[in-house]
Amino acid sequence: MPPTDIPNLKPAHRVEDTFLVLDVELRTLDTGESFTILRLGNSTGEIATEPFWPARQDEVAGVRKGHPVRVVGEVGIYRQKKQLRISSVRVLPRDALDLTALLPTVGPVDRYWDTIDGWRRSVVKPRLLGVLDLFFDDEEFRHRFELCPASVRGHHAQLGGLLKHTTEVAAIARAISRTSGADHDVVLAGVLLHDIGKLEAYSWDGAFDYTIAGSLLGHVVLGSLMFDQRLRLEAKSPCTEEEKCLLQHMILSHHGRLEFGSPVQPMTLEAEVLHWADNASAKSASVADAIRDDESFLEGPVSRPQWTLDRRRVYRQVCDWGLVADD
Amino acid sequence: MPPTDIPNLKPAHRVEDTFLVLDVELRTLDTGESFTILRLGNSTGEIATEPFWPARQDEVAGVRKGHPVRVVGEVGIYRQKKQLRISSVRVLPRDALDLTALLPTVGPVDRYWDTIDGWRRSVVKPRLLGVLDLFFDDEEFRHRFELCPASVRGHHAQLGGLLKHTTEVAAIARAISRTSGADHDVVLAGVLLHDIGKLEAYSWDGAFDYTIAGSLLGHVVLGSLMFDQRLRLEAKSPCTEEEKCLLQHMILSHHGRLEFGSPVQPMTLEAEVLHWADNASAKSASVADAIRDDESFLEGPVSRPQWTLDRRRVYRQVCDWGLVADD
Amino acid sequence: MPPTDIPNLKPAHRVEDTFLVLDVELRTLDTGESFTILRLGNSTGEIATEPFWPARQDEVAGVRKGHPVRVVGEVGIYRQKKQLRISSVRVLPRDALDLTALLPTVGPVDRYWDTIDGWRRSVVKPRLLGVLDLFFDDEEFRHRFELCPASVRGHHAQLGGLLKHTTEVAAIARAISRTSGADHDVVLAGVLLHDIGKLEAYSWDGAFDYTIAGSLLGHVVLGSLMFDQRLRLEAKSPCTEEEKCLLQHMILSHHGRLEFGSPVQPMTLEAEVLHWADNASAKSASVADAIRDDESFLEGPVSRPQWTLDRRRVYRQVCDWGLVADD
Amino acid sequence: MPPTDIPNLKPAHRVEDTFLVLDVELRTLDTGESFTILRLGNSTGEIATEPFWPARQDEVAGVRKGHPVRVVGEVGIYRQKKQLRISSVRVLPRDALDLTALLPTVGPVDRYWDTIDGWRRSVVKPRLLGVLDLFFDDEEFRHRFELCPASVRGHHAQLGGLLKHTTEVAAIARAISRTSGADHDVVLAGVLLHDIGKLEAYSWDGAFDYTIAGSLLGHVVLGSLMFDQRLRLEAKSPCTEEEKCLLQHMILSHHGRLEFGSPVQPMTLEAEVLHWADNASAKSASVADAIRDDESFLEGPVSRPQWTLDRRRVYRQVCDWGLVADD
Amino acid sequence: MPPTDIPNLKPAHRVEDTFLVLDVELRTLDTGESFTILRLGNSTGEIATEPFWPARQDEVAGVRKGHPVRVVGEVGIYRQKKQLRISSVRVLPRDALDLTALLPTVGPVDRYWDTIDGWRRSVVKPRLLGVLDLFFDDEEFRHRFELCPASVRGHHAQLGGLLKHTTEVAAIARAISRTSGADHDVVLAGVLLHDIGKLEAYSWDGAFDYTIAGSLLGHVVLGSLMFDQRLRLEAKSPCTEEEKCLLQHMILSHHGRLEFGSPVQPMTLEAEVLHWADNASAKSASVADAIRDDESFLEGPVSRPQWTLDRRRVYRQVCDWGLVADD
Amino acid sequence: MPPTDIPNLKPAHRVEDTFLVLDVELRTLDTGESFTILRLGNSTGEIATEPFWPARQDEVAGVRKGHPVRVVGEVGIYRQKKQLRISSVRVLPRDALDLTALLPTVGPVDRYWDTIDGWRRSVVKPRLLGVLDLFFDDEEFRHRFELCPASVRGHHAQLGGLLKHTTEVAAIARAISRTSGADHDVVLAGVLLHDIGKLEAYSWDGAFDYTIAGSLLGHVVLGSLMFDQRLRLEAKSPCTEEEKCLLQHMILSHHGRLEFGSPVQPMTLEAEVLHWADNASAKSASVADAIRDDESFLEGPVSRPQWTLDRRRVYRQVCDWGLVADD
């Protein structure tokens, strides 16, 4: 049975399904009274429950962020927003479930793997290919890489988001490599490796979050450490020390500027290309997300200031440029 | 006869050819003595003359920046740099010459036109195509567009540089449009129009320079004005007011941030895509130029700080990654 | 009958009058209950209504921001603030009304016109006068110019605010011209033209707001475009191209720095003078407004941080310096 | 006999006059040889001498910055610059001379005093007038105030520059006070006092320079200290503590922002008005100076980047706007 | 009887004691209903009362921030926070009370005086000691100095906080003096004097607050003025003018950079040492405070962004590094 | 025989000794003539040679930066600077020499080791001690650590500079730990490890320079990698993963802010203490160096702007504060 299609729920719909608890919000009125609201999600979206007042607090006493829960209820409307009115909520054992079915996802990932693996196989520099295969021929690595989100909350914050983002960066980087004369193989290697630190910086077993290492060291340096550790496992390094240094440099410099968290700035053409491709993928995704969000446009075609875009506003256009649309 | 191949001149070569005066440098020694050096260029590169001391000042008395000159001389070496030792220099009338043959150039431009015109013909939105054709079907416009440099001194500072840069931005923008879901036609239109202001902001009849309007108004706003003026020449506007406004917005916001000279920030996905594609083309070209410049690497593989890159240093790599090169 | 004097309403006053709906605020309690509050205004000030709870939602169902409404009610007090308790609210047809009578206003504008027209007539440079007259002898232009606010919410956000602000800038600019030796006529021309873009960037038919062009292009560039378009309507330009360029430069550079939205910085003495006069008028008006606002000083003579002043605090002084006041 | 008119010296003119040594420049060629150049000035301008080579070093052995010297020589030309070729230079005793006759000056200062004293006499607040008179009725204070420059090198770097600048600020501040509703008397008091710290921060007995207190404490705080000290000399303070505090606040906040050296930002309307008037006078003077400087425009109407203007360029216009000039 | 130990109150505890009113918070629900909450404190901590609804408003009508009050009540719990449910609250006359017993405090200050006076007595430079004794041998000064907090809300916001902070800075500065070769005596003098302006910038008779002079002039300049005034009281200055200037410089430059409120930057080694010691004490205290605050860690070991630390997050570690703890 | 005491050479001294070539400067006069100057150094200081003109170029043909050379010559004076006039210069084989004797040095390092090892031995946390001993009980590590400079050109740019700087930071950090309540052992560990990356980022076999890894990865990340690699060499990690993470965090965050090259900001009290102690040692050393440099004070007690201090000026004081000096 497919998961409840949250975005298309209608008032008075009856709901009986499994959800992930994305957040447990405790709120206190100015009057001193307090209540609890759960944010529930699955792969299709998310929805809030009605408030649990003190009289019903024991119904949600053991519910925590990241728990899978079995819920029975009905869709209500408060003002313009849908709410779940709950008649029963029960925490499920985590082991019995595939939690990933309850998180937002980019959908099937084969198409991304096909693209990336295809480009990888086209690499003609033997030692470079050797390095990449250490990671991308490793099933364990691939498994984690295809689940990891590209951010905790922001662009591509979905299961598979990292893989999708990496594919996008690779596609954009190919175009920039071509116009600027950068080395395609080296750029591709940098693209594939630049965000591997997110595998250790983020957690996705339950709601997306930062790991302790993610908070204390950051994904940029974690990627650099993971790269170093993996190559040291080999009896014989697949590449020279200087070549290794160049790839490390690409991982470390991909945020482009010190104030954005890169400890060094790009010094090679390939690192520069990677930086702009990464930026173009991440920032255009953020703008696309902002324009898609109906709640920002309640007052007209100019949105409210967007926190994800440094308080920029975006504009929703509806011009057809004379095109007679069919659909 | 082909122009003198400046980069490949050797000491004691005799030179007799026409050059453009790129600069007339007047220098005064601390001793109070002064002399003149000419920087001469043609489409292949540039070279300085030996000093003209006071006794020979009348030989260069009438020579000005932007003049074409007929020169006879011989190549000398001072320290590590080549110099032209001049036996005769004569100013030529400008009318008799194709000055553009004396300026650095991107070479034949047909390939760029082919690419751009091909993409333009694929535009399916009638009113958008109508707008583009006002400019890109106009022979006078095309003539100027294929000569104009993309900067006075910086990335793509060559005849045809604007056309080349525009083609690069278009290619990169296509990749970003695809990954972000932006409208291809609108993005292409923004790309083709974003830098048209440079046609009035720069001059290239002689050495590259800013026009007065370029200094006082800037190429961003000049582009906006030219766009508006051209559309007003039509009895019936090829597009709606809002559509026109969206294209104006792309021209004005393409520098991305106020401190980089855009009076507004990008508010549409298409403007955002244009901004990143433009940046990727310009900045990767600047890095590529810096790495190509031998003079920055006299002391090793790490360059001196580069003024064109906000004093960043670049690194020249020589790794072969195990590839047995054939050439 | 004069409009209701909102600032001087007292509790239990009966009110029956026409107001403009400045905003329709929909609020939801944490409990899930929601209600509507209207902000009503006329030329004397503004006041909020009591909440309309769900049971009364149909009374305000069709009320929108910018609507004129006929209201019957009574003044109540909640805590320290006055509220209108509504017994009847009815939307009026817009055509039948002079909406401008319902907006905050600077009052009679003749004194501003007298000042500005007087100074304009003193211009001795024929071509400069010719340019100014294209705008300031045009009745349609004058009509819009004397209504337009100088900002949507901020300094001089009143009908006639632009005219008042322009007069202030002119007065200050005269003083700076005198001390710095700038050309009085050119400075005056820049002052009169610098903000004309606001005529197309703002709307005041209903509550003050940004137009789409105002959001996407900004008033600085809109002013530049309007200036260009008007001059192009003339068979023969009233001034030379360079002169036109200098005036365009003043319009474009009047914010002084790129990060404040000017695409170019001032390059002439006259543009510099305009910039400082504009700043002095706008910023001192903002400080004066902040000091006038009683709500900022509930806790003492040092205000809360002011958002309109980059979170600066202001101080309300009460010294009499030994002056025996009469009033 | 009037001083030598330096700006109008012509080649081969014979010079015999007294000058101030503005600087003693010791330069060393790359060859290891060194020489000395003197920069000489009087109230009309400044000029450099030809180099003194080692053989003539004893002629300038005892010459120091700030010395008055008697010079005999002849005007020569190197390239485009005039030089003094010296046949005799002799240091004069300082006591015998009015050094101020050798420094750049604003000329007669009575007109400035008349303006300022006139406005001061119009102050109607008794305690405020009492404070101002402590300073501006004190002959010793007036004597120093009318000599002090407004900067060491920058805007109004002339004898009397402080008085001239203060008069300008007062004139501009009056205009801003009028438009913003600020208290004229308080603003005037702030204007008159805001830069008094320069009396102790700068020295002008010889070339303009910073005093040690000027370097270590700055003129802003020095003004605050001088103000406090003077009032404490009075048995009974001419104003209340809070009034004193408000004037101190104006002195301290007149640079407007912390990063410009004000330890506090303006918190009263009067302090705000003072800040903008001060800025308008100083910055427009700097732009006017830059445009007046022929050496910046050797290559055309757009100047080189100006260090005094944060590397902005300025533009020299020559439009007559149709005015038939008589002179 | 010791004061009520606020941090260790348990639900249902009866409370009858004297507290200081730290704040009177008036809140209005969206419904229009309003109520009052008191924040009460003593030397052990602070706690909020339950809401006083309109029916009980007269119980708190005369209560103001800074009042001492006699309270009878009982501890309640709302959600996770303790509240005081009040049965009686009565304002006490201020004269009858030692208000300082009701404010947070660093505890006994003798240990700090012992340290500081010990170091002061070790000063070997006679004139420097003479300056310090003017302040630190003055009983009135010592009395105020040992009460004053080091900030109103921030690091060391406690009675005695300034003395404690000064002692910390002195200890750190000694270490830096030793490694850098700075003059110990001069550094100590700067440390002891650097924050004396806080005696006039803050008030602590009731809740901690800024004085008007503190808001308008700032503690940095107030310290400079107090230093100057005290020395002028002496018939013969205890030190030379230049020495005085160096100490003033240390007071004024101790924030290190203009944007942090110092009108001049450190120019001597001793001023530099003072600056870093001051920063190290203040910032490490802020981090320690943030880590101590349980409320920031409700969701895990990584805190919420901390406003006192420019929105940095802090981490609470629990590693024992193999140490078997005994206590 | 001790090395030539460069700072105390007098004109006409004969010199015959071994030096390190710190730089080979090729300069070209505007006349086109070029020459070479060598900068020679040993442990006592550095001095330039007279120019080698073209006629003598073969004498220095094979001389390169980092070469040890045998020099015979005599001290000359040009203007105020000493020069070596060379009669013979000969490159020595590197193997035969202890190059470190030719570099600036902090002198004997035992005192620093004694201090640091003493503090290390006082660490009471077993696992922390275990980590430190991996590095500081390793003779190879100690050997490199006691040679490495703390910067290439800047503070502590001497052999042994890193060890000296580390000792200073430890001493300052102890004081800050004490006042802030930080864990002494953890702080000490962070201090000892924070700059270990410099061992791989800098080279000192010849003149001080950056390694390629130093340029591409930076010493901050290199330290993190070295730390990780060393611990992985152990079969059993001497500490837990979280403990390791906390030490890594201290290494990575010690520059305090992203724009200074730390990829993460300090999140623990111990990391905060390390950051301020590091800053205090480095910045006070830079100020002390600047004040020691006679060449900055040729014009008076206020120095020229110092590049090492962001163009701040420093002041050289000479007050004796009444102390009768003995020496």
- Window 23-42 of F: residues touching D by CB (8 A cutoff) are 27, 29, 35
Are D212 and E249 a contacting pair at CB < 8 A? no
More confident residue, D51 or C74: C74
Mean pLDDT over F52-62 rounds to 79
Q: In terms of pLDDT, which residue wins out, C110 or A1?
A: C110
Contact E155, E205 (CB under 8 A): no
Neighbours of F252 (CB within 10 A): 27
Subunits close to A (at least 3 CB pairs below 8 A): B, C, E, F
pLDDT for residue A32:
52
- Chain E residues whose CB is inside 8 A of the A307 CB are none
Could you give the CA distance from residue A107 to residue E4 in angstroms, rounded to a whole number? 60
F323 close contact with E: CB closer than 8 A:
yes
Q: Does the CA dihedral A86-A92-A98-A100 come out positive or negative?
A: positive
A212 vs E78: CB contact, 8 Å cut-off?
Answer: no
- Mutation target to probe the F interface, by most F beta carbons within 10 A, among D23, D31, D212, D216 is D31
CB contact under 8 A, B249 and C217: yes
pLDDT at F31 over 60: no
| Dihedral over Cα of A33, A34, A35, A39: its sign | positive
Window from A67-76, A96-105, F60-69 with minimum mean pLDDT: A96-105
Q: Please give the residue that has the higher pLDDT: either F244 or D99.
A: F244
| pLDDT tens profile C184-243 | 999 999 999 999 999 999 999 888 999 999 999 999 999 999 999 999 999 999 999 999
ipTM score for this prediction: 0.88
Give the model confidence (pLDDT) of D16-39 as tens digits: 999 999 888 776 554 555 678 898
pLDDT for D187-204, tens place per residue?
999 999 999 999 999 999
Q: Is D73 on the interface with E (CB under 8 A)?
A: no
d(CA F110, CA F168): 14
Are the beta carbons of F261 and A263 separated by less than 8 Å? Answer: yes
pLDDT at D297: 81
- At residue A7, the pLDDT reads 82
Where helices occur in C81-125 by DSSP H, the ranges are 110-121
Dump pLDDT digits (tens) for B60-82: 878 888 889 999 999 987 555 68
**How close B27 gets to chain D, by Cα (Å)?**
9
Chains F and C touch (3+ CB pairs under 8 A): no
- Residue B141 pLDDT > 50: yes
CB E214 within 8 A of CB E202: yes
From residue B82, alpha-carbon distances to B8, B44, B89 in Å are 10, 15, 18
Q: Which helix (H) or strand (E) holds F180?
A: helix F161-180
Residue of C216, C229, C264 to mutate when probing chain B, most B C-beta within 10 A: C216
What are F14's strand-pairing partners? F74
- Packing angle, helices E269-292 and F269-292, rounded to 10: 170
Question: For position B16, what pLDDT does the model report?
Answer: 94
CA distance A158 to chain B (A): 15
Of E167, E249, E276, the CB nearest to F283: E276
Using CB atoms, which residue from C26, C31, C215 is nearest to A302?
C215
Lowest mean pLDDT among A143-147, B48-52, C311-315, F105-109: B48-52
Q: Which residues in E lie closer than 8 A to residue F124 (C-beta atoms)? A: 323
> Beta D81-91 vs D45-49: how paired, if at all?
parallel
CB distance C291–D269 less than 8 Å? yes
Residues of E in contact with A212 (CB under 8 A): 301-302, 315
pLDDT tens column, D158-183: 999 999 999 999 999 999 999 999 99
CA pair distance F200, F220, nearest whole angstrom: 11
**Region of residue D258 (left: phi > 0; alpha: psi -120 to 50; beta: else):** alpha
Whole-number pLDDT of residue E30: 47
Nearest to A263 by CA among F219, F210, F309: F219
Confidence of residue D127 (pLDDT cuts 50, 70, 90): very high
- F312 CB neighbours in chain E (<8 A) are 265-267
D263 and E259 in contact by Cβ < 8 A?
no
State how far residue A201 is from chain E, nearest Cα, in angstroms: 14
First to last CA, chain E: 30
Task: Give me the residues of F, 270-289, that contact E with CB < 8 A.
Answer: 272-273, 276-277, 279-281, 283-285, 287-288
> Using 50, 70 and 90 to split pLDDT, how confident is the model at D1?
confident
Which pLDDT tens digit goes with each residue over B259-314? Answer: 999 999 999 999 999 999 999 999 999 999 999 887 678 778 998 888 889 889 99
**D55 SS3 class:** helix
d(CA B56, CA B59): 6
CB contacts of F210 in chain B (<8 Å) are 302
State the pLDDT at residue B26.
72
Q: Which residue of chain E comes nearest to A64, CA vs CA? A: E299
- pLDDT at D327 exceeding the cut of 50: no
pLDDT reported for residue C327: 47
Does B51 have pLDDT greater than 70?
yes
Q: Which two tokens stand for residue D270?
A: 């009067």
Residue F315 pairs in a beta bridge with F302
Q: Does B77 touch chain F (CB under 8 A)?
A: no
Q: Which chains touch F (3 or more CB pairs under 8 A)?
A: A, B, D, E
Point out which residues pair with E34 in neighbouring strands: E28
**Mean pLDDT on A38-54:** 85
Q: What is the pLDDT of residues E145-197, one digit of tens each?
A: 999 999 998 888 899 999 999 999 999 999 999 999 999 999 999 999 999 99
| Predicted TM-score (pTM) of this structure | 0.91
Greater confidence (C27 vs B268) lies with B268
| The predicted structure's pLDDT at residue E327 | 47
Q: Is D136 on the interface with F (CB under 8 A)?
A: no
3-class secondary-structure state, position C212: helix
Point out the residues of chain E with pLDDT beneath 50.
Answer: 30, 326-327
- pLDDT tens digits along B217-231: 999 999 999 999 999
Q: Which helix (H) or strand (E) holds E18?
A: strand E14-28
What is the predicted pLDDT for the residue at F30? 47
pLDDT band at C30 (very low <50, low <70, confident <90, very high): very low
Q: Which of A302, C253, C144 lies closest to B249 in space, CA to CA?
A: A302
- Name the percent of chain B lying above pLDDT 90: 64
Which residue's structure tokens are 């003096």? E177
Higher pLDDT, D80 or B309: B309
Helix, strand, coil fractions of chain A, as percent rounded to 5: 45, 20, 35
Nearest C-alpha in F relative to E271: F284
Shortest distance between the Cα of F255 and any Cα of chain B, in A, equals: 20
CB-based contact B221 C221, cutoff 8 Å: yes
**What is d(CA B55, CA B48) in angstroms, rounded to the nearest whole number?**
19
What pLDDT, on the 0 to 100 scale, is given for residue E28? Answer: 59
Given an 8 Å threshold on Cβ–Cβ distance, is E31 in contact with C27?
no
Report the candidate in E179, E185, E152, E151 with the shortest Cα–Cα distance to residue E165: E151
- pLDDT at residue E32, rounded to an integer: 52
Mean pLDDT over C169-176 rounds to: 98
Least confident of E254-258, F3-7, F28-32: F28-32
Instruction: Assign C37 a pLDDT band (cuts: 50, 70, 90).
Output: confident
Per the prediction, chain B carries an average pLDDT of 90
pLDDT tens digits, A272-304: 999 999 999 999 999 999 998 876 787 789 988
pLDDT at C325: 57
Each residue's pLDDT tens digit, D264-288:
999 999 999 999 999 999 999 999 9
B abuts E (3+ Cβ pairs < 8 Å): no
- Residues in chain C with CB shorter than 8 Å from the CB of E212 are 301-302, 315
> In this complex, do C315 and E31 lie within 8 Å of one another by their Cβ atoms?
no
In this prediction, residue A299 carries a pLDDT of 72
If you measure CA to CA, which chain F residue comes closest to B313?
Answer: F215
On the 0-12 / 13-18 / 19+ scale of CB atoms within 10 A, A144 is middle
